Amino acid sequence: MGSLEIGSRLDACLTAAVAADPGLADVAKVIAACASAAIEVSTVIGRGALAGDLAAQGEQNSDGDVQKFLDVFAHERFTEALRGAPVSEVASEEAEGVMLLNPGAPLAVAIDPLDGSSNIGVNMAVGSIFGIRPTASTPENPLGSFTGPGTLQRAAGFVTYGPATSLVLTLGDGTQTYTLDRAEGVFRLTHPRMEVVASAKEYAINASNARHWDTPVKAYIEDCLRGAEGPLDKDFNMRWLGSLVSDAQRVLLRGGVFLYPGDNRKGYAQGRLRLLYEAAPIAFLMEQAGAGAIDGERRILDICASAIHERVPLIFGSADEVACVAKYYGGRNSAAGRSPLFGQRGLMRS
Ligand code: AFP
């Protein structure tokens, strides 16, 4: 994104990105559409209970999760905004199948319109997550836009609706953060190039599931708990916000490692998080900020989905921490050796 000034508006930053690489013109339009939808969602969230019962329960989504009012509202706002952008199709957490928007358009979007919805009713941060890919579906392969590896993503981002509303974004040239200027109704650049510290002392995991974890995760967390007296030679702190985007934003800002592994609960063999619209966008943002993201053995960005709501174990964060966790898995899969984690620091998209 070149050397843009702090305070620059998102539209000016996108214009500069397109000037530097005209091939980003359509990607920029999709990002602008996501940003406009995010501002609408932020406005409703910011009203809290004054906007009605945002956690009001409705139908079940593709995964059997009960949809809350805000899940549906966010899904509708993002889908409507993307209909006005060069987007052929959308894979949304809130829709069973792929939604066809503009036949022949060059880009496809995988989106979690409202992540962290269990936090809605208790005034905690929630988010929206998206990944932008080239259209590749055909009548013979209707999921083709979504079954390639995450390295095909042209851009990815997430919005955190927290004390501030922020947009964390990558177009493949570093990771930036924009913060919503509510007075002007625009996102402004506040973090031009985010770089995650290689080593950290904070881990995020839902410890109530400890009895369900497999051995590598149990061994790693036990060693974290042993602190400076243990093999990791340092004391750790723990955070678990119940909101992937909030944990991801904290890791981007002060390092650490986040783990949502597979476990032996029914339906959780591949964890809880979705490859297409949660893990892959987060992995792209992390790698562009010099961090890493694996499923325990494979680099997330190398994994191909075979279904749009497919789950994947997700471990991301400071490069040294993620490499350490990978060792507890024993690097059983040679693909892990290909991860940039085991190459140079300052990971860039390959
Ligand atoms: P919800 O959207 O159902 O609240 O799930 C949020 C989430 O997908 C992710 O944002 C959290 O990190 C994770 O689930 C929390 O999962 P647990 O409730 O199992 O800890």
The angle that helices 280-288 and 244-254 make with each other, rounded to 10 degrees, is 10
Which of 272, 282, 312, 316 to probe ligand 1 with, by most ligand atoms within 8 A of CB?
272
pLDDT in tens, 189-227: 999 999 999 998 999 999 999 999 999 999 999 999 999
d(CA 309, CA 289): 26
d(CA 293, CA 282): 8
Distance 242 CA to ligand 1 centre (A): 5
CB count within 10 Å of CB 228 equals 9
Mean pLDDT of the chain: 92
CB count within 10 Å of CB 303 equals 19
Query: If pLDDT is split at 50, 70 and 90, which confidence band does 310 have?
Result: very high
Taking every pair of Cα atoms in the chain, the longest distance, rounded to a whole number of angstroms, is 60
Find the mean pLDDT for residues 94-103: 96
The pLDDT assigned to 52 comes to 80
Please, what is the Cα angle at 329 between 155 and 320, to 5 degrees? 55
Architecture of the domain defined by 10-191: 2-Layer Sandwich (3.30)
Query: If pLDDT is split at 50, 70 and 90, which confidence band does 68 have?
Result: confident
Determine contact, residues 278/129, Cβ cutoff 8 Å.
yes
The pLDDT assigned to 348 comes to 32
Find the mean pLDDT for residues 227-246: 97
Using the predicted structure, report yes or no on whether residue 339 has a pLDDT greater than 50: no
Q: Report the nearest-CA residue for atom 12 of ligand 1.
A: 244
Q: Report the nearest-CA residue for atom 13 of ligand 1.
A: 242
Domain segments of the chain as ranges: 10-191, 202-331
Dihedral (CA of 162, 320, 224, 262) sign: positive
d(CA 350, CA 343): 12
The token duo for 196 is 């995650």
Distance 243 CA to ligand 1 centre (A): 6
The verdict on domain 202-331 having CATH code 3.10.20.30 is no
Query: If pLDDT is split at 50, 70 and 90, which confidence band does 338 have?
Result: very low
Which of 67, 72, 118, 259 to probe ligand 1 with, by most ligand atoms within 8 A of CB?
118
Q: What is the DSSP letter of 268?
A: -
